[in-house]
Amino acid sequence: MSRRRFGRSMMTTVALVAALALCGCTLPGPLGHADPGPKVLFFDDFDGPAGAPPAAHWRYDVGGGGWGNDELQVYTDSPANASLDGDGNLAIIARGEADQRITSARLTTRGTMDFTYGRAEARIAVPAGAGLHPAFWLLGSNVDTVGWPQSGEIDVIETLNDARNYHLGVHAPKPGSERGQEVSTSAVAPHPLAGEFRTYWVERSPGRIVMGIDHLPLFTVTPAELASPADWVFDAPFFLLLNLAVGGSWPGPPDASTPNPSIMLVDWVKVTEL
C-alpha cells in the first residue's frame, strides 16, 4: 500500500512538472529565509541603566562658549549633560548653572565610525524653548586636516526655538567664502516636532544626497545645485554628530521661559547600506 501511494505521488509530480514546462512556469524554490534587508553598518539603541554614559563609540566634543553661531553653551563630557535615561534613550541635556554658565553636550562618532554611501537615521524628540538649537548632522572625516567648510557639512535636522520649522542642508567649500556655499531648505514641519519622536534621515549615494523626516523626502542636493567654484566633497567618509546648542546669532538668546533643564532625547541611531 505504501508503494502504491508513493508511486501515485511520483506520477503526480512528474505530471505537474510536465504541465509547468508546457506553460513556461517553474516550480517554487525551497522555502528560504526572509530578506534580511540592508546591511547595518552601525546601530545604537541606548539601552542601559539610567545615568550610564553612552557606549564608547560616542565621543565628546568639549569646550565652546562661542562655537558655531556665537553660541552660549559650554559642551562637557559630564553625565549631567549626556547619559542614558533608563527608558532606552540618550538624553542630551542643556542646563543653566548657578554660576550663570550654560552647559550641554555634543556627541560624535569621529574616529570610531564613518561612512561614505548609505542611510544614516536617528529617532529623536527635539526640545522647544527660546534659544534652543538641537541638531543631528554629519561632518567630513578629514575636518581635522582640511578644516571647515572644506570638509563639508550635512545638516540632517536642525530646529530653532519652538521647533515649528525644520532646517535641512549642506555646506560645501567655496574659494573666497569663509562659510562656503550653503544649499538648504527651511519650512514648517509636516508633523509636530517638539517633544515628539520623529525619524530624521539622510541617504548618500554617488553625487546625490536626499534628506527627510519619517517616510517623507524633503530635500535633495546634487553637484548641479552648487555654484561654481564651490566643490562637491560629499562622496567621501563622514561621521555623525548629535548636540543641543543654546543661544547665539541664529536662534537668539534663551529667556526666563526656556526650560531648565532642556532635554533632547535620542531613541536610536542607525547607519545602513542602500
Q: Would you please indicate which residues are annotated as catalytic (active-site) residues?
A: 153, 158
SS3 9: helix
The counts of H helices and E strands in the chain are: 3, 18
Residue identified by cell 570638509 is 151
Comparing CA positions, the residue from 169, 59, 67 lying closest to residue 106 is 59
The three grid cell numbers given for residue 141, joined into one nine-digit string: 572625516
Measured distance CA(137)–CA(117) in Å, rounded: 15
Helix (H) or strand (E) holding 20: helix 2-23
Helices (H), ranges, 24-152? 67-70, 143-146
Comparing CA positions, the residue from 130, 115, 126, 118 lying closest to residue 236 is 115
Q: Print burial letters for 159-190: b (CB count within 10 Å at least 16), e (below 16).
A: bbbebeebbbbbbbbbeeeeebbebeeeeebe
Report the DSSP beta bridge partners of residue 175. none
